[in-house]
Structure formats: structure tokens, C-alpha cells
């Protein structure tokens, strides 16, 4: 709302679809939620309705905020004219438009980092506690230390490592764990002749077409990233 007075709305009608594939790993990493589902189910005591509502609203609200955030940045770049070419950081670009916007951008950035941290910490703490058979709970700090200390040390050693890790995790980590593997597991569960699981109705419609699109889309992004990395070496 504060920055809307400096927006050029016609700039939002322009698009560069060639740059869209580069954003897929970031989008996948930003909206992945499967790692917190076990914690969510535990906290909501397995109530299916509450779990579904939490997932839907927990995804829809960040999506709306991301769209507004991107719209403000993309609509503000045009207003600076030639100055936009001299500023590489979009946050710096947005701060330069209005004195009130700067503090709001800082607050939003800190909240985005904090909320992302909370989700990943909750998921990783429970995962490490289960994997390593560690005692968990408010008075059991070891899983939290194993979750927080290694990335803290890496970030202190190399402040720029976050951006490298973001691209790597979005391309390979998220798309393999939550793209290739679920599709392969679902295909095996539904269509393998040797499966021993009960014949339950599928939760996701579309059959083989949906599974193939999920697997193929994830594989395409991963292969494209591999080809691009080799091209730059």
C-alpha cells in the first residue's frame, strides 16, 4: 500500500518467459511444506480437516504475499529509469523509492527469514531426533543444536553460501525429495503388480498423467540445471 504510489502498473504486463525456468528452484523451495507435515499432524492431533486447512491457508497466504512483493519490486524498477541499471539489489532499489518503504522492507525481510527458519527448524529437529534416536522436547537441546549450529558455522565462514545453497537445494534437494521420489513411490504403489499395500482410492486425481507430469517436470528442471552448470564450467 505504501509503495503503490510509485508503481508503474503497466510494467507488470511485461514478461520475460525465458527467465521463468530459472525461478522454478526458488519457487519449489519457497513453497515446500512436506517436511513439516509430520509435526503439523502431531500438533493438530491427526485432525484431517485441520491439517488440510493449515496446509491450504499456510500455502495461500505466503503465495499472496509473494505476489504482492514481486509486484511492488517489478513495478518500481521502471520508475527509477536509468538509475535502475546502477542498482543490482532489488531491495536497495525498493528502499530508494520512498523513505517509509525502507523500514517496511527490512521488517518484511526479517519476518520472511524468521518464518522460514521456524518451519525448517521444526521439521529438521523432529527428523534428526527420529533418525538418531535422540530425546526431544523443550528441555532436550541436542536436536536443536544439531539443526542450528552447522548452518550457523557455514554462514559465518562464507556469508555468500546462502545463495549457492538456495539454488542447489531448490534444484536438487527439493525437486528430488518432493518431486521425483513421491512420483516414483506413487507409481510403484498404484501400478506395481508386487505391491502389498491395501487398495485405497488415490488422493490425487489424474492417474498416470499427473504422476508423469510431476516426475517429468522435476526431471526437466534438474537436467536443465545440470546442463547449464556444465556449460559454465
pLDDT score for 55: 87
pLDDT score for 215: 92
List, for residues 30-47, the tens digit of each pLDDT value: 777 777 788 788 888 888
C-alpha cell at 196: 502389498
Q: Which pLDDT band holds residue 18 (cuts at 50, 70, 90)?
A: confident
Looking at the predicted structure, is the pLDDT value of residue 183 above 80?
Answer: yes
In terms of phi and psi (left: phi > 0; alpha: psi -120 to 50; beta: otherwise), the region of 191 is: alpha
For range 204-231, the mean pLDDT = 84
Please report how many Cα atoms fall inside a 13 Å half-sphere around the Cα of residue 42, on the Cβ side: 8
d(CA 141, CA 139): 6
pLDDT score for 91: 66
List, for residues 101-156, the tens digit of each pLDDT value: 667 777 877 887 777 777 778 778 878 888 888 776 667 788 888 888 988 898 88
How many residues are recorded in the chain? Answer: 233
pLDDT score for 195: 55
| 8 Å CB contact between 97 and 80 | yes
| 8 Å CB contact between 196 and 142 | no
pLDDT score for 185: 87
Tell me, letter by letter, the H, E, C secondary structure of 115-183.
HHHHHHHHHHHHHHHHHCCCCCCCCCCHHHHHHHHHHHHHHHHCCCHHHHHHHHHHHHHHHHHHHHHHH
List, for residues 154-164, the tens digit of each pLDDT value: 888 887 887 77
pLDDT score for 222: 86
Contact residues for 72 (Cβ-Cβ < 8 A; gap 6+): 3, 4, 7, 94
Looking at the predicted structure, is the pLDDT value of residue 187 above 60?
Answer: yes
pLDDT score for 66: 82
- The phi and psi torsions of 153 (rounded to 5 degrees) equal -65, -45
List, for residues 55-99, the tens digit of each pLDDT value: 889 888 888 888 887 777 777 665 544 454 555 566 666 666 556
pTM confidence score: 0.63
Amino acid at each position: 500500500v505504501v509503495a503503490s504510489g510509485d508503481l508503474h502498473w503497466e510494467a507488470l504486463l511485461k514478461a520475460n518467459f525465458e527467465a521463468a525456468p530459472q525461478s522454478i528452484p526458488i519457487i519449489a523451495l519457497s513453497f515446500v511444506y512436506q517436511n513439516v507435515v509430520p509435526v503439523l499432524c502431531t500438533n493438530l492431533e491427526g485432525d484431517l480437516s485441520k491439517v488440510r486447512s493449515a496446509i491450504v491457508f499456510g500455502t495461500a497466504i505466503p503465495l499472496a504475499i509473494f505476489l504482492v512483493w514481486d509486484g511492488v519490486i517489478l513495478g518500481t524498477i521502471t520508475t527509477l529509469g536509468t538509475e535502475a541499471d546502477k542498482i543490482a539489489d532489488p531491495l536497495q532499489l525498493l528502499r530508494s523509492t520512498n523513505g517509509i518503504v525502507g523500514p517496511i522492507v527490512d521488517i518484511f525481510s526479517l519476518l520472511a527469514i524468521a518464518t522460514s527458519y521456524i518451519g525448517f527448524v521444526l521439521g529438521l529437529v523432529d527428523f534428526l531426533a527420529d533418525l538418531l534416536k535422540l530425546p526431544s522436547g523443550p528441555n532436550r537441546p541436542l536436536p536443536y543444536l544439531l539443526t542450528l549450529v552447522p548452518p550457523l558455522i557455514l554462514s559465518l565462514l562464507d556469508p555468500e553460501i546462502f545463495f549457492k545453497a538456495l539454488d542447489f537445494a531448490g534444484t536438487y534437494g527439493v525437486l528430488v525429495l518432493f518431486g521425483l521420489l513421491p512420483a516414483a513411490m506413487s507409481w510403484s504403489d498404484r501400478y506395481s503388480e508386487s505391491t502389498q499395500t491395501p487398495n485405497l482410492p488415490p488422493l490425487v486425481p489424474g492417474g498416470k498423467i499427473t504422476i508423469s507430469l510431476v516426475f517429468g517436470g522435476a526431471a526437466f528442471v534438474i537436467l536443465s540445471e545440470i546442463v547449464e552448470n556444465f556449460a559454465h564450467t
